[in-house]
Structure formats: C-alpha cells, structure tokens
C-alpha cells in the first residue's frame, strides 16, 4: 500500500525527530525487519543449546527403551515334543480305503 505525499513527509519528520531525541532507539527501529539486532556477532554461539537438549532427550529415550527390553520377561517358549516311546500298546496303522481287515495277516507260504 503506497502512502500519500503528505503522509510520507510526516513519517520523514517523525524519523528525523526520533533520531535526534533517541538515536539508540532509532538505530534499533532502523534494523527492524532485518536480522535481529540483539543477535550475537557469531550466530553459532547460541545454536548449540537446542541440539544439546534434543541429544539429551534422545539419550534418555534410548536408555529407557534398552532398560525396558532388558527388564521385560521373555515370552514362554513352546516345549519341544518328546520322541515317541515304543510300547506294546501301539495303535495299528490305519487301513487304506478299499482293503478289508478281517484279522491278523496270514503268514506267507514258504517257497520251495
């Protein structure tokens, strides 16, 4: 939005009066809209603090996760099946369909 000529003259007069009365404030207002005038000359001086906080949070989180995994009991493992024991009470194999089961098998006749 552009200003009228009359408004521009008034603003220029205010700026001039301000720079005469309070030069420090005028300097700060001049820097308004640019980089922070209170920022240190070396921008790296304050930028490490957020990273330290994030690092501490990450370390605490990782430590709690490790502690959780170490202290949590493991799930019970399924028992291994025992090998089948042979006994005299065995169940005979099922007979295929179509075969008749009358009784014990007959002994084979000797040849020759």
Mean pLDDT (whole number) for 78-87: 68
- Mind spelling out the 3-state secondary structure of the chain? CCCCHHHHHHHHHHHHHHHHHCHHHHHHHHCCCCCCCCCCCCCCCCCHHHHHHHHHHHHHHHHHHHHHHHHCCCCCCCCCCCCCCCCCCCCCCCCCCCCCCCCCCCCCCCCC
In tens, the pLDDT along 37-61 reads 455 555 555 677 888 899 999 999 9
pTM: 0.31
């Amino acid at each position: 939005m552009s200003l009228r000529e009359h408004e521009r003259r008034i603003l220029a007069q205010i700026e001039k009066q301000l720079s005469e009365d309070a030069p420090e404030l005028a300097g700060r207002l001049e820097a308004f809209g640019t980089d922070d005038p209170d920022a240190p000359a070396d921008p790296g001086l304050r930028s490490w603090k957020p990273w330290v906080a994030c690092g501490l949070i990450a370390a605490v989180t990782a430590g709690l996760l490790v502690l959780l995994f170490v202290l949590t009991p493991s799930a019970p493992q399924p028992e291994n099946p025992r090998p089948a024991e042979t006994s005299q009470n065995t169940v005979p194999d099922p007979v295929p369909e179509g075969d008749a089961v009358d009784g014990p098998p007959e002994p084979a006749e000797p040849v020759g």
